[in-house]
């Protein structure tokens, strides 16, 4: 009978040992993930703390409100398949930001657009990246996140309809639309 107990006990001990090893490994992985998330949050907080007067980083929920084009707000154009601001776009956006800061009651919706090439889903994602690039640049220039929202129209609202390089360039844009709050 002692032999049977030993033969049964050995596999049970092995199972308990492996179970505790797996638990500690998954516990270590969870601790590592928590540490990485804490580091990301701290880095984000450090970035946010460096912006004047900006305590929160979430954009405003301005959907459903009527936004219109203003002659003072220029569009930013992008290269093919890119969401990086060119020097020309930065110059236009600096002027836009100065106007926005001078008109503190204005809320803005930053609309991202793309040309007709590519799938609907791809162009919606690219348009959103473009809108966020503009929003982040405005934020870096001192425009409050509470006044801004982003939306992507992808290829659904083209500026022109031709299938040509010049028309595609015009359609690859981000527009800043505004409304007066109050």
pLDDT in tens, 97-138: 999 999 999 999 999 999 999 999 999 999 999 999 999 999
Q: What is the DSSP string of 121-181?
A: HHHHHHHHHHHHHHHHHHHHTT--GGGEEEEEEETSS-S----SHHHHHHHSEEEEEEEE-
Task: Please check whether residues 117 and 164 belong to one and the same domain.
Answer: yes
As beta bridge partners, residue 151 has 111
**Do 88 and 152 lie in a common domain?**
yes
Q: Which of 86, 129, 82, 108 shows the shortest CA–CA distance to 178?
A: 108
For 134-161, the pLDDT digits (tens) are 999 999 999 999 999 999 999 999 999 9
| Domain contains 71 | no
Q: How far is CA 23 from CA 15, 26, 114, in A?
A: 12, 5, 48
For residue 56, is it within any domain? no
Asked whether residue 167 is assigned to any structural domain, the reply reads: yes
Residues above pLDDT 70, as percent of the chain: 64
Which tokens in the block code for residue 153?
């129209």
108 is a domain residue: yes
Q: Which residue has the tokens 């956006």?
A: 93
Question: For all residues of the chain together, what is the average pLDDT?
Answer: 78
Q: Is residue 58 part of a domain?
A: no
Write out the two tokens for 62. 């301005």
Q: How many domains does the chain have?
A: 2
In a domain, 69, yes or no: no
1 pLDDT more than 80:
no
pLDDT of 53 above 70: no
Cβ neighbours, 10 Å, residue 58:
7
Is residue 81 domain-shared with residue 160, that is, in the same domain? yes
Report whether 141 contacts 94 (CB < 8 A): yes
**Structural domain range at position 3:** 1-50
């Amino acid at each position: 009978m002692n032999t049977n107990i030993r033969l049964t006990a050995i596999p049970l001990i092995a199972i308990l040992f492996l179970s505790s090893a797996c638990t500690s490994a998954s516990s270590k992985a969870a601790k590592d993930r928590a540490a990485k998330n804490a580091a990301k949050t701290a880095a984000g907080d450090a970035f946010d703390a460096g912006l004047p007067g900006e305590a929160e980083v979430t954009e405003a929920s301005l959907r459903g409100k009527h936004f219109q084009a203003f002659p003072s707000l220029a569009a930013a154009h992008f290269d093919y398949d890119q969401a990086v601001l060119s020097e020309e776009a930065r110059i236009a956006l600096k002027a836009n930001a100065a106007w926005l800061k001078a008109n503190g009651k204005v809320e803005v919706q930053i609309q991202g657009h793309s040309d007709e090439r590519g799938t609907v889903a791809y162009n919606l994602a690219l348009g959103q990246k473009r809108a966020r690039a503009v929003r982040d640049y405005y934020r870096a220039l001192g425009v409050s996140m509470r006044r801004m929202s982003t939306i992507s129209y992808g290829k659904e609202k083209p500026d022109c309809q031709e299938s040509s390089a010049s028309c595609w360039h015009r359609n690859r844009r981000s527009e800043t639309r505004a409304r007066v709050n109050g």
